[in-house]
Structure 1
Amino acid sequence: MKTATRTLLALTAAAAFGGFAATGMQLMLQRPAAAEPAPAAAAAPAIAALPAAVNGTPMPSLAPMLKRVLPAVVSVNTKQRVRVNTPFGDDPVFRRMFGIPQERIAQSLGSGVIVDAARGLVLTNNHVVEDADEVSVTLADGRTLKAEFVGNDADTDIALMRIPAQELTAIPVANSDRLQIGDFVVAVGNPFGVGQTVTSGIVSAIGRNNLPGAGFQNFIQTDASINPGNSGGALVNLNGELVGINTASFNPRGSMAGNIGLGFAIPSNLASNIKDQLLVGGVVRRGTLGIDTQDVDARIAAALGLAQPRGAVVTRVYPGSAGAAAGLKPGDVILAANGEPIADAEALRNFQGLQPANARVALDVRRDGQPLQLTTGLREVPKALAGAQLDARLAGASFADLPESLRRQGLAGVLVEQVERDSRAARSGLRKGDVVLAASSGDFTDLGGFRAGFAAPPPQLVLRVLRGRSSGQLQMR
């Protein structure tokens, strides 16, 4: 009984103390923080603060480097007029009754990098300014200026702008080919529109080219935080030199879910090459081998005597192409290009897409089980073809290669870039934006193959067309 009484008293005391402590903590939390200085006796000991130096060596800081870099990174603001669709179409009475405007202004935010202060040149991502009706740039010192569009390349996601400003600061550009896995890098941009932000990390990988939905790829991968709004910003080394243009982050839940340490940047060498081409003519010209290829699977590898299923096997060589000049033949397996291993047909296509027109290429080939090296100069990829040049039944239409982003989604064919009103192609039902997947003129995977199929015009010309999510056949008359 005495033991039980002592236990009860102890529990009662504990409960009373707990209630007192909880009440005291609640009062402390409710009391506003005082601005009075702490008593001298309660001052934190000196060892709690970070030392300015260790063994006489100053603590490292990125601040001096960033003072040079930050003025060269800008915020990019875009506006686009978007048509407002209604169930009643363009009925003006309905719109007036319910106050529905014909269009609205969509705004987006990204980042950019000043790479030439004298000429006011700013690099950013194409997807930041694509389809924008108005683009303005806000400098680190607060000035906001209207930007002039110079050119863009959707397939590498690079765009170039010019701003009319004095006293600009540019970032010196480094040789990104010297980057190594493990090098420290710093990302600067305007994520989520919160303002200029700096994050740091290392180079996690180089030469990444397997991201879905992107164009030609040779990405630097980094664990420096890259979030929406960082696109077009700078990735710099510890010397404050530009090594990449931040372009994407990967998150299975979508980019708006935030950063998980998988960020990607376009190497500065590639961005500089695109910039130089855009300055000269406003367009990017690429080279091609002029061949069709497919992946080497286990069955093909066994038939060709390869130790492993790797490389791109040539299935077709177009007459007059760079591949024909090099002596490539159907059945050849391309294992490397300019010393870069070629894993499959997509890797070879990606390699070609990153080369300028007339670039020299050395190919490591396996033919009949024997190693062979061939060298050739690439030939320029045509930007677009007029349908009338191919066949009179296509008159009024123009065709272009598919954007690489669509190819990464598994599509192959050509894009209908334009169709003139009341033209022969229009009367047969062809529309701008259609994707031609197949044709009775012959097999093809790109614009070069599509053109080659009309060397001998077919008696009947039937196109299999993808429009939106539906596909069907059109007979061209």
Structure 2
Amino acid sequence: MKKLFLLSLLTLSLLNAKEGVEFKYSPKDMERNYPTAQNYILSYNNVLENVRSSIVNISIKKEINGNQLSANPFFNDPFFREFFKGYGDIPQERIQQALGSGVIVSKDGYIITNNHVIDGADQITVNLAGDKKEYEAKVIGKDEKSDLAIIKIEAKNLNAITFYNSDKVKVGDVVFALGNPFGVGETITQGIVSATGRSGVGIVEYEDFIQTDASINPGNSGGALINSAGHLIGINSAIISKSGGNVGIGFAIPSNMVTTVATSLIDSGKYTRAYLGVNISDISDDMSKFYNDNYGALITGVEDNSPAAKAGLKRGDLIIEINGKKITSASELKNTVGSYAPSKVVIVKFLRDKKVESRNVALATLDSKITNGEFEYKGLKLTQIDSTHKQQLNITINGVLVVNVDEKSEAYSAGIRKNDIIIQVEESEIATLDDFKKATASKDKKRVFIFRRGYILAIVL
């Protein structure tokens, strides 16, 4: 039996030798370095102590009236309406309160946070760490497409946070998330950078997130994600979770995007993005073979009179580089173009018929594209739906798109919101702005039918 066992080992050894597989082992004499000892404690207190006073708590109050409540799809469901019959029908008015976080970016009181934290707020209150005084804040500017906003309080000599170049953030870097989750008070959680350049998540239109496993919970929104040196690398924005609790997948808006947007919001109250004028998509492995095994942003359509059209770009071109920056996906092209100032001339490198070509393209203003063909009505800004809107909103219906709503307008009180699609007014179906103008020519109140995320709602306006 012993000989048979030795023969089996020899046979196995020969088989392994024949296959030529070599397993890589660590050095046998590796030593362990212990980060702690009995005579000292490993701590980041010295770093965090300075940053804590740069993080603020934000509380908002928002008045919700009956019309806004009835605009919710649930209240248009017969079951819910039947449920409320015995309780005084749908509540007519209530005060909604919410909590979030913010980061001080200047000594004189400018604070950056998420747009969704302060959106629609009637009152914004800021509490500073170690200060019992409550500060009333005013909105300086907000950008829904990146989910960033700037508010300001009247205060001096505040501790402005130090920024770090987010392009230099690496996967595995130790990070801390600071905020006020669930309203329990100032909280700090630790983790690492899980990924950078995350896009396609579907949270906002412009996504280039830093992903982290540091716990980000409700109330952390607008707070800071800092590295182990205490420098800001991102603004905590969202999590992926089925339960609403943290599962280790959190997202922060990178600091470079934050500074670009915040500078414009402080200077002019808005952020204006550059516009190329193409419909784009990613490509598969099979499609990549037609482009010399390259990846990039495939042009599937070019808008008339757009910067792309004027530069001679065509459907089927694969954009692989902008101003020397490599482009590997449609979202990367979108974020890159959106980071430039309007009117900037960029060099677009692309593949056409397996040949690399380049064009100088003078970018235009995205806002100028949107305002073409706009119509204002009772606080609404409307535009006709085109192929770009259908692609962005993943819809196939026709109608007029609500580009913006004045929060103090009759339309806002009635419950109409941005990105709603008006498809009918009284008995008239709406496919164009002219249809809407004719249907609303009289000053009488009318039934307006809107499409919102798969629901059709009826509102009196």
Query: CA-to-partner distance for each residue in 1:98-142, whole Å, 9 max, x for gaps?
Result: 59863110001010000101x200000001011111110011013
Equivalent residue, structure 2, for 1:156: 146
Deviating more after overlay: 218-227 vs 312-321: 312-321
One-letter amino acid matched to 2:147: D
Counterpart Cα distance in 2 of 1:307 and 1:248: 38
Equivalent residue, structure 2, for 1:121: 110
Among 259, 262, 275, which residue is 2:246 paired with? 259
Among 107, 111, 125, which residue is 1:136 paired with? 125
Counterpart Cα distance in 2 of 1:166 and 1:381: 36
Note the 1:246-325 alignment, pairs <5 A: 246-251=236-241, 253-254=242-243, 256=244, 258-296=245-283, 305-308=290-293, 310-325=295-310
Equivalent residue, structure 1, for 2:162: 172
Which SS does the other structure have where 2:367 is aligned? coil
Note the 1:62-461 alignment, pairs <5 A: 62-84=44-66, 102-117=92-107, 119-141=108-130, 142-251=132-241, 253-254=242-243, 256=244, 258-296=245-283, 305-308=290-293, 310-382=295-367, 384-385=370-371, 387=373, 398-399=382-383, 410-411=394-395, 415-417=401-403, 434-435=420-421
One-letter amino acid matched to 1:250: I
Deviating more after overlay: 330-339 vs 279-288: 330-339
Deviating more after overlay: 309-318 vs 148-157: 309-318
Contact kept in structure 1, 2:125 and 2:137, CA below 8 Å: yes
Counterpart Cα distance in 1 of 2:346 and 2:151: 32
Relative to 1, partners in 2 of residues 1:408 and 1:181: Cα closer, same or farther, differing over 3 Å? Answer: farther
Counterpart Cα distance in 2 of 1:432 and 1:61: 47
Which SS does the other structure have where 1:276 is aligned? helix
Counterpart Cα distance in 2 of 1:432 and 1:202: 36
Relative to 1, partners in 2 of residues 1:346 and 1:165: Cα closer, same or farther, differing over 3 Å? Answer: closer
Which SS does the other structure have where 2:291 is aligned? coil
Equivalent residue, structure 2, for 1:26: none
Counterpart Cα distance in 1 of 2:401 and 2:183: 35
Relative to 1, partners in 2 of residues 1:348 and 1:432: Cα closer, same or farther, differing over 3 Å? Answer: closer
Counterpart Cα distance in 2 of 1:64 and 1:401: 54
Residue correspondences, number: 372
Deviating more after overlay: 240-249 vs 122-131: 240-249
Contact kept in structure 2, 1:214 and 1:408, CA below 8 Å: no
Mind listing any 5+ residue stretches in structure 1 that lack a counterpart?
1-48, 54-58, 89-93, 391-395, 421-429, 438-449, 473-477
Counterpart Cα distance in 1 of 2:365 and 2:148: 20
Query: CA-to-partner distance for each residue in 1:46-66, whole Å, 9 max, x for gaps?
Result: xxx96233xxxxx44211111
Relative to 1, partners in 2 of residues 1:406 and 1:197: Cα closer, same or farther, differing over 3 Å? Answer: farther
One-letter amino acid matched to 1:160: I
Question: Which one has a bigger Cα radius of gyration?
Answer: 1
Query: CA-to-partner distance for each residue in 1:182-212, whole Å, 9 max, x for gaps?
Result: 2221111001111101111221111111212
Shift of 1:433: 5.4
Equivalent residue, structure 2, for 1:13: none
One-letter amino acid matched to 1:135: I
TM-score by length of 2: 0.70
Shift of 1:73: 0.3
Which SS does the other structure have where 2:247 is aligned? coil
Query: CA-to-partner distance for each residue in 1:45-102, whole Å, 9 max, x for gaps?
Result: xxxx96233xxxxx442111111100110111011001135899xxxxx99x959863
Relative to 1, partners in 2 of residues 1:81 and 1:194: Cα closer, same or farther, differing over 3 Å? Answer: same
Shift of 1:378: 1.6
Shift of 1:328: 1.6
Relative to 1, partners in 2 of residues 1:364 and 1:432: Cα closer, same or farther, differing over 3 Å? Answer: closer
Contact kept in structure 1, 2:65 and 2:94, CA below 8 Å: yes
Which SS does the other structure have where 1:352 is aligned? helix
Which SS does the other structure have where 1:274 is aligned? helix
Relative to 1, partners in 2 of residues 1:123 and 1:467: Cα closer, same or farther, differing over 3 Å? Answer: same
Contact kept in structure 1, 2:291 and 2:318, CA below 8 Å: no
Query: CA-to-partner distance for each residue in 1:345-384, whole Å, 9 max, x for gaps?
Result: 4543343334332344333311111122333232111254
Counterpart Cα distance in 2 of 1:380 and 1:211: 25
Relative to 1, partners in 2 of residues 1:320 and 1:172: Cα closer, same or farther, differing over 3 Å? Answer: same
Deviating more after overlay: 215-224 vs 328-337: 328-337
Query: CA-to-partner distance for each residue in 1:134-178, whole Å, 9 max, x for gaps?
Result: 110011013211111101000000000001123421111222222
Relative to 1, partners in 2 of residues 1:223 and 1:294: Cα closer, same or farther, differing over 3 Å? Answer: closer
Deviating more after overlay: 351-360 vs 237-246: 351-360
Counterpart Cα distance in 1 of 2:188 and 2:64: 33
Deviating more after overlay: 224-233 vs 330-339: 330-339
One-letter amino acid matched to 2:60: T
Which SS does the other structure have where 1:164 is aligned? coil
Relative to 1, partners in 2 of residues 1:113 and 1:397: Cα closer, same or farther, differing over 3 Å? Answer: closer
Query: CA-to-partner distance for each residue in 1:219-274, whole Å, 9 max, x for gaps?
Result: 111111111111000111222211111111112x14x2x21211111111111111
Relative to 1, partners in 2 of residues 1:408 and 1:335: Cα closer, same or farther, differing over 3 Å? Answer: same
Counterpart Cα distance in 1 of 2:97 and 2:218: 14
Contact kept in structure 2, 1:385 and 1:400, CA below 8 Å: no
Contact kept in structure 2, 1:215 and 1:405, CA below 8 Å: no
One-letter amino acid matched to 1:104: R
Shift of 1:419: 9.6
Deviating more after overlay: 213-222 vs 67-76: 213-222
RMSD: 4.0
Contact kept in structure 2, 1:399 and 1:418, CA below 8 Å: no
One-letter amino acid matched to 1:63: N
Equivalent residue, structure 1, for 2:20: none
Counterpart Cα distance in 1 of 2:402 and 2:89: 37
Mind listing any 5+ residue stretches in structure 2 that lack a counterpart?
1-35, 77-83, 407-415, 424-430, 440-448
